[in-house]
Structure 1
Amino acid sequence: MADDRIFVPLSLVSRLALAFDGAILGVVLACSAVRALLKHRSASSALSKIQSAPSISIGDLRSIISAEQSESSEEPLVVVRGTVGVKPVVEGGSWRSLKPHVLVSQESRDKAVIIQSMQTCIYSEWKGFFGWSCDVRAMLGESLNKQGSTSLRMVPFILVEGDQWLNVNLVGSKHPLPLTTVYHHVHPISASRYTFLQALFGHEYPVGLLDEEKILPLGKEISAVGICSFNDGVTEIKSCKELPYFLSELTKDQMVLDLAVGTKTLLWSGVVLGLISIGILGYAVVRNWNKWKQWRQQSQRQLPQPSYDAYDDDLEYLEETEVMDNELCVICLMRRRRSAFTPCGHLVCCPRCAQLVESASHAKCPVCCQKIRSSLRIYG
């Protein structure tokens, strides 16, 4: 049934893409190629920045920051690896207990600094006997078929290496977090009294509820790629918007390898899509140009032919009168030359043949091959 739901939208999309002999498909592929090349440019920039960023320990951060700030005013970009810990808080000269600042997972009872709880409603995928509204949802994707809620709780945390620690600043960061799934369960939903009618007419109805919980546990070893600085005498790292990573389970070498593969993939995909789009657009231009020329020739052929009723009396007279050979039409060799072409002025055709020559697509004089504008009837 799922194949039936996407058959009609896919057929409409394919017809639209192949319209104008594939011109629309060529434009879409060209836009995709440009987008891939722009992403390749940003990925290459991020790769060079991560490659040049030093991978140092937390204890050496102060000396690196001081040396970089003395040479330039810019804050240094570094790669630091450590384990997740709770940020220490000092009150009244003594270290306060860290327990109130640790989150506890409701499902796994693990201690964490970030807990993300998600609840998603799963809907039926059956179209029904009389349903057609699902085709619109299929064209827009499966995002409309799922609804849910997400809650995110977090506390300030640090990266620890031995007895040294680094404050992690997540303010303004939109990078993905290295969370671990600790709970994943689907709860079935009982059918209501209207479920049969909803299924019969193709209206989607909920069949299950998916509960997920992801955490960033204490003691997890992660890497931080960002800008280091001093904030109130505390070493702090914050995210860099130009980089695809901030907190990650990957090491620096794994990040570089991942970005290198990604940049090559984006480059070759952009080149291939660009070449394909050029070929399709070239084919579409040639095909549409030929169609336009054929249409123009057909429209010219379908022009109303001149009426020769006015010449009937004259033709009957000519047939009864003897005509010299040097006075015969050079085209039909039957009637007297009575039409002169302009601007060349050659008097070589009868009125009927002159009209036929004049109505041609490329009207030229049969003697001098000069382009003609019209013909004039000569009496006498």
Structure 2
Amino acid sequence: MSSPEQAVFSLLSNIALSIDGAAVLGLTLAYAAVRTIVKFTSSSSALRKLQDAPSVRVSDLRSVLDVEGGSDSSSRSEREVLVIVRGSVMAKWAVEGANWYSLWENVLFTRISSDRAVIIQRTQTCIYNEWKRIFGWTWDLLAILSRSLRERKSSSLRTVPFVLINGSQMPVDNYVVVNMDGSKHHLPLTTVYQQLQPINASPYTFLQALFGHEYPVGLLDEEKILPIGKYVSAVGHCFLKNGIPEIKPCNDLPYFLTELTKDQMVIYRAFRTKILFWSSILLGSASIGILGFAFARNWNRWKEWRRRPNDQQQQSHAAVDELNTPVSEDDESRDVPDGQFCVICLMRRRRSAFVPCGHLVCCQQCALFVGREVSPKCPVCRQTISNIVRIYHS
């Protein structure tokens, strides 16, 4: 290994061995800053799209698609326009059927209240309780007395095709079909039923609690719906399919079906974007400062190690040669007085003093091992060592 490679390796090893939390904290803040910047970029892009997207009524949607798509019917069918449409929820079969009196056919009904809806989400949450292992590994009193609750959910979602219309007047002349394929956005559902049923304990439950195993304590049954007639906004790509407007979700936007208007969405997204912007600046500045401090400190240590006097290096070589020479048996085998043993090996007599602190606490061999470190420090006072002096007793 060449001299430059040895210097680089010593610097990297020094950084790795001298980590006291600054480098780890700096890297953690840098990672958080990068993630915040990514979120800020995504949020600002979504904000621009929401600001540029026209907010139209269902009756004006065809005119917007005609203007954007041009005069050619084929281009109008293939062109997708990002719009914000606001209207009332209605079942698709009600507006496409020939009989306008059969409005409630092919719709969903809730189990308890018999409300009519196009989306029904039923969630059953089993709540488990767990004592902190009286006979387990945790013997801490606070941990024994504390409890934790865990939830296990099972959810079912039923949907029927639905559209958005203007108001609730029949018959319907203009409507837009809502295509939810591939949508993972939050739905503006309304809770119509919620009940928590306790679960009766059994002797087996007592044994579960005694030995620290979780056991069920309650069952939460919820039912949420998207009712017919609810006024919502649909944000997505709109296009003509067989001459009928259809809207589908955009994965780059945080909204698809929402109760918010365009102005409310823009205000909320602008506030979130501003928070992410300043958070990324603060986290980035803090990470750069901490990493710069850690780098400068290790760089100074490396330069201090490189600036050692040549005579010290020569002295180290001479000491190594002295190590290779056989030590006088009369000098080392005799009884060492109390208080004169080396503080490191506890076998040989103290022979070397450190400069500038002046502590005479190590034998010659252990002093050389200490002096070979990248940043040698006295084992007693932890002061940086600049030289090692051999002491001879007359």
Question: What is the TM-score normalised by the length of structure 1?
Answer: 0.67
Structure 2: distance between partners of 1:213 and 1:93? 32
Structure 1 residue identity aligned to 2:128: Y
Alignment partner, residue 84 of structure 2 = 79
Are the equivalent residues in 2 in contact too, given 1:86–1:113 (CA < 8 A)?
A: yes
Alignment partner, residue 58 of structure 1 = 58
Are the equivalent residues in 2 in contact too, given 1:184–1:211 (CA < 8 A)?
A: yes
- Larger mean CA deviation between 54-63 and 200-209 belongs to 200-209
**Deviation, structure 1 residue 91:** 8.3
**Deviation, structure 1 residue 209:** 1.1
CA change 1:120–1:269 in 2 (3 A) is same
Are the equivalent residues in 1 in contact too, given 2:85–2:234 (CA < 8 A)?
A: yes
Unaligned runs of 5+ in 2: 1-17, 326-367, 374-394
**Residue among 247, 256, 265 paired with 1:246:** 256
**Residue among 322, 344, 349 paired with 1:307:** 322
**Deviation, structure 1 residue 148:** 2.1
CA change 1:283–1:309 in 2 (3 A) is closer
Are the equivalent residues in 1 in contact too, given 2:93–2:106 (CA < 8 A)?
A: no
Does 1:262 find its partner at 2:262? no
Structure 2: distance between partners of 1:264 and 1:248? 22
**Cα displacement string for residues 185-235 of structure 1 (whole angstroms, at most 9, x for unaligned residues):** 211112232223322332222111111111101111111111111112211
SS at match of 1:181: strand
CA change 1:89–1:111 in 2 (3 A) is closer
Does 1:146 find its partner at 2:173? no
Structure 2: distance between partners of 1:309 and 1:20? 37
**Deviation, structure 1 residue 294:** 8.4
Alignment partner, residue 372 of structure 1 = none
CA change 1:132–1:86 in 2 (3 A) is farther
Are the equivalent residues in 2 in contact too, given 1:20–1:284 (CA < 8 A)?
A: no
Are the equivalent residues in 2 in contact too, given 1:113–1:155 (CA < 8 A)?
A: yes
Does 1:99 find its partner at 2:104? yes
Alignment partner, residue 42 of structure 2 = 42
Unaligned runs of 5+ in 1: 1-17, 311-355, 362-380
**Cα displacement string for residues 337-367 of structure 1 (whole angstroms, at most 9, x for unaligned residues):** xxxxxxxxxxxxxxxxxxx9xx999xxxxxx
Structure 2: distance between partners of 1:157 and 1:275? 50
CA change 1:306–1:149 in 2 (3 A) is same
SS at match of 2:265: helix
Structure 2 residue identity aligned to 1:102: V
Q: Please provide the CA RMSD for this pair.
A: 3.7
- Larger mean CA deviation between 82-91 and 201-210 belongs to 82-91
SS at match of 1:194: helix
**Aligned counterparts, 1:198-213, within 5 A:** 198-213=208-223
Alignment partner, residue 33 of structure 2 = 33
Does 1:236 find its partner at 2:251? no
**Deviation, structure 1 residue 95:** 5.1
Does 1:121 find its partner at 2:131? no
**Residue among 197, 219, 243 paired with 2:229:** 219
Are the equivalent residues in 2 in contact too, given 1:82–1:160 (CA < 8 A)?
A: yes
Alignment partner, residue 331 of structure 1 = none
CA change 1:273–1:148 in 2 (3 A) is same
Does 1:160 find its partner at 2:165? yes
Structure 2 residue identity aligned to 1:118: T
Structure 2: distance between partners of 1:102 and 1:360? 83
Structure 1 residue identity aligned to 2:92: K
Are the equivalent residues in 2 in contact too, given 1:127–1:199 (CA < 8 A)?
A: no
SS at match of 1:145: strand
Structure 2: distance between partners of 1:166 and 1:207? 46
Are the equivalent residues in 1 in contact too, given 2:123–2:223 (CA < 8 A)?
A: yes
Alignment partner, residue 273 of structure 1 = 283
Structure 2: distance between partners of 1:286 and 1:212? 58
Question: What is the TM-score normalised by the length of structure 2?
Answer: 0.65
Structure 1: distance between partners of 2:323 and 2:118? 98
Structure 2: distance between partners of 1:108 and 1:27? 55
**Deviation, structure 1 residue 49:** 0.9
- Larger mean CA deviation between 201-210 and 45-54 belongs to 201-210
Structure 1 residue identity aligned to 2:155: T
